[in-house]
Chains A and B, each alone.
Chain A
Amino acid sequence: MISGYLSCTRGSLIGLLSGATLLLAINAQASDLPERQVSLMSSSCANCHGTDGQLAGAIPAIAGRPASVLEAQLLAFKQDLQPNTTVMNRIAKGYTDEELKSLANYFANVKRK
């Protein structure tokens, strides 16, 4: 059963990733990418997740989710650790780990409507 890009709950995601903790160690520090840069980079995400990641429909909203959860999810997509992924694995591979961290921080800081 496929339920969405972010189909696993936080709990199951952490379970899924527990074997790869070293690879996927989450660093809570903000990234070094300039703010304008991250803002422009994040704007592509709006095309499926709505402006500022706010739209919840068939594709889930990403605004306001914890940065650690978003980053772990993005890294799981990038490393093909998320079963039944449709397109996010292909998208996540287009960004460096640092860029994915920046995106996670960016959307975590958006106040969910």
Chain B
Amino acid sequence: MSNKNTSFSTSRRRLLKGLGMVGLLPAIPTIAASTSGHAGHVIVVGGGFGGATAAKYIKRGNPKIDVTLIEPNSTFYTCPFSNLVLAGERSLDSIGHNYDELKNVFGVKVIHAFAEDIDGVAHKVTLSTGEVLSYDRLLLSPGIDMRWNAIEGYDQAASEKAPHAWKAGNQTLLLRKQLEEMEDGGTFVMSVPADPFRCPPGPYERASLVAHYLKHHKPRSKILILDSKDSFSKQGLFTNAWKEIYGDMIEWVGVSGDGRVVRVDADKREVETEFGTLHSASALNIIPPQKAGFIADRAGVTNESGWVPVNPNTFESQQVADIYVVGDATIAAPMPKSGFAANTQGKVAAAAIVASLAGITAPDPYWANTCYSLVNPDYGISVAGVYKVEDNQIITVPGSGGLSAADASSEIRQAEAAYAVGWYEAITQDTWGTKY
């Protein structure tokens, strides 16, 4: 055993050096190959923050494991920083990332196709190409799907006219176009769902950055946020900053104030709220209720909530063995549905999969999260947390985390805005190998 580990470790050093990766050699775990003669095959479905990270860290943990990543798109556009694209502060290209590092440095096989079905008993994944692949372990990072028709009149066709822009890419550009075409003095209306949904502070950052754009280009315009809940992430920080920077441009209406949108007329850009009030929009953004991406349903790992219960120590499904699920699709509160959390969950699941294929126990999990929001490009706020497992539940480590200070100086807000950019570059480097 020790001889085997030593020689494996040496060959790994050579491999890493050969690839030009100056690794963290003393700390790389040395895992013996499994008894079946090969180290196993892992299929990863979904190349976002959770899946791409997991694929990379499985290979870092044991390069002898064959890893196949199934992802339909050759470029992944991140939701983080897409609000800057919406505000005209960044190009869509600047938030696009590819799979070159995974393929060329880590030897991950990347297949650009949809995973259409999963047989958890037979350990098989069926692709849109008709190909059927077998796995020893499967990792799903399926992200979210919209619950079409949860709001009357809001289906996929309607989302072309009243974009959600809650998956970045073409949807972002559609909403950007509405903003550009909006007259000065118009109203940008946004509908926000009840919890849980992807990126809890995201809608409020979006309102902020849209306000930044309008303030400079269409200053007589208004933003109306119609919300299906009565409180939201970083609420005090956002509302104080809105008042300070944007005056009364942004109006927020909670569910008690008739904020819940129940019907959408995308053609007329009109919404109706619970108690029958009609609101007309110059630009209309409907962020609908959500659920785990559909492949999670096909795999049988979702429960009645539409989300995925997981074993907190490993992020293995509670319902189907050998399937691990990470990211927004999972039930992982108090961790938020964020790209940062998905990335750290991907690492925990990767370590658990590497250990499982080697027949050893998984290391204890650690997760962290920092969600930055930009109120404008020079004004950043954040919420952070460090998480662990206690009594088989994920908990926030007592005393850790929390919000930016309410009374912070403008220098601190500016520093957090700069760190938001630093964070974006670091996490996209860590996840996709994007170079800066």
Interface of A with B (CB < 8 Å)?
A: 1-2, 4-5, 34-52, 55, 57-59, 84, 86-87, 90-91, 93-95, 106, 109-111, 113
Contact = CB atoms under 8 A, between A and B. Distances in A.
Interface string B409-420: 001101110110
A40 B423 contact: no
B426 A38 contact: no
Contacts of A57: 421-422, 425-426, 436
Contacts of A113: 22
Contact of B22 (A34, A41, A111): A111
Nearest to A110: B24
A8 B370 CA distance: 22
Contacts, number: 136
Contacts of B415: 2, 4, 84, 86
B430 A5 contact: no
Interface of B: 22-24, 26-29, 57, 340, 343-344, 347-348, 351, 355, 363-368, 370, 382, 384-387, 397, 399-402, 404, 411-412, 414-416, 418-419, 421-423, 425-427, 429-430, 436
A95 to B, nearest CB: 7
A47 B370 contact: yes
Given A2-B411, A47-B344, A37 B386 contact: no
B426 to A, nearest CB: 5
Contacts of A46: 426-427, 430
B26, B366, B427 pick with most chain A CB within 10 angstroms? B366
Nearest to A52: B24
Which 4 A-B pairs rank lowest in CB-CB distance, beginning with the nearest?
A94-B386, A58-B422, A94-B400, A59-B422
Nearest to A60: B422
B368 A94 contact: yes
Given A50-B426, A84-B412, 15 more contacts: A2-B414, A4-B415, A34-B363, A35-B26, A40-B363, A48-B370, A50-B430, A57-B425, A59-B422, A87-B382, A87-B416, A91-B368, A91-B401, A94-B399, A111-B22
A58 B421 contact: yes
B412 A86 contact: yes
Contacts of A93: 386, 397, 399-401
Contacts of A58: 418-419, 421-422, 425
Contacts of A51: 429-430
